A = this chain, B = another copy of it.
Amino acid sequence: MTDDDDDDFDLDLFLPYLLNQAAEAAGRDFQAVYKARYGIGRSEWRVLFHLGQDGPLTAKEIASRAMMHKTKISRAVAALAVRRFLTRERSETDRRCEHLHLTPAGQAAYRDLRREAARYDARLVSRFAPEESAQLRTMLRRLSGAR
């Protein structure tokens, strides 16, 4: 029998592990920015960005784009509404769902953080060659199940 105790596995090369470590490391500092500047958490940040980028959306639409659970969305939206970063407008055609709009304050926060995100991203990929980072993004998208 081949040695059962030593097949070719190295934890430090295990992809889910690597991805977690990298995601955590990459997210930490940026998280500190939006937390310190607007007192919001990750869910709130995501909702803010999706709304800022893709116009008014319903909670359901955000959930499917961000692959977030609906309770997270619900609470994030509530928190952003308290901060007057968005307004909810019940749909006329289907009164179950509501369209979420960023207020001017919300848009301002979005633009500010987007600028910050762009700089942060640039700093992250500065260690790589341009076509390397492009390929990295492509591969990550594929892993995310994106098309």
Interface residues, chain A, with chain B CB atoms under 8 Å away:
4-5, 7-27, 30, 46, 49-50, 53, 67, 111, 114-115, 117-118, 120-121, 124-125, 127-128, 132-133, 135-137, 139-146
Show 26 A/B contacts (Cβ-Cβ < 8 Å), sorted by A: A7-B115, A9-B115, A9-B118, A9-B121, A11-B49, A11-B53, A12-B146, A13-B137, A14-B117, A14-B121, A15-B26, A15-B121, A15-B124, A16-B30, A16-B120, A16-B124, A17-B46, A19-B19, A19-B22, A20-B27, A22-B23, A22-B143, A25-B143, A25-B145, A124-B143, A127-B142
Q: With A and B bound together, what is the CA distance between A84 and B9 in angstroms? A: 24
